[in-house]
Amino acid sequence: MSELALGAGLRGKVAIVTGASSGIGRATALLFANEGLKVCATARDSEGLQALEKEMPVGDHMYRVLDLRDVKGCAALVAEVDERYGSIFVLAHIGAYLRRKDLFEVTEEDWDVQLDVNLRATFFLNRAVGKVMIDKKIPGRIINFSSSSWMIGPMKGSDAYVASKGGVVSLARGFARQFGPYGIRVNVIAPGQINTPMQHVDNDPKIVADAAAACPLRRMGEPEELARTTLFLASDNASFIHGATINVSGGGLMY
């Protein structure tokens, strides 16, 4: 078999990237666009999307403000992308929300917002995109994001977040079983400590430094490293990877 480029089979295809205003989502949107995909970049942060648009290469791209708690808004976005391009080939669902709080200070609202953004939105976006792919006989790719903590368990202040991310793994396995017969590959990426804005919000710098020091590679990962993993899973190189949770933690999680 001849060697395949990292983004093999993706040029000209359509991708939805959530969480595209910063961090891993932003890096992924840029990489996808540079590989020749048409990207619908979504995020709640309109200013971040405007900044992304200025850096994106010329192409037929979309930029849409989307609150992942809005299930109807998620469905409307999928319908708009399908109507504009006539196809959806990749969903890279990266957007997430973490609210760090001590276990005994977590409120019902803290719990609900993290489960809504991180888990409920995953279900409805996966289902909506999958239906488009099935109806149009598109052997697409759905890539969800969890966290290495889904297996390790929560660090201080992330109990609700990690519960939601464990749910993402379970949901994705269900979608993989349902969508696999249609040629739609569904996978999950589980990052470790990555140098994104979320990593530093409401987090003690010493905890961040200690986590990086505890990693066998003695550093945090960078968003671009996760973007390349996402591109690989979307590409023809990952043609027999399905229902998997890919650990990208620099050895912070080993199994």
Output the six-digit token pair for 244.
Answer: 């998997």
How far CA 202 is from CA of 68, 99, 116, in Å, comes to 21, 8, 20
- Name the burial class of residue 168, with classes exposed (0-12), middle (13-18) and buried (19+) by CB atoms within 10 angstroms of its CB: buried
Q: From the CA atom positions of the chain, what is the Rg in Å?
A: 17
Catalytic residues: 161
DSSP state of 189: E
Q: What are phi and psi of 226, to 5 degrees?
A: -75, -35
Contact 242, 187 (CB under 8 A): yes
DSSP state of 221: B
Q: At residue 199, what is the residue type?
A: Q
Contact 65, 43 (CB under 8 A): yes
Contact 166, 146 (CB under 8 A): yes
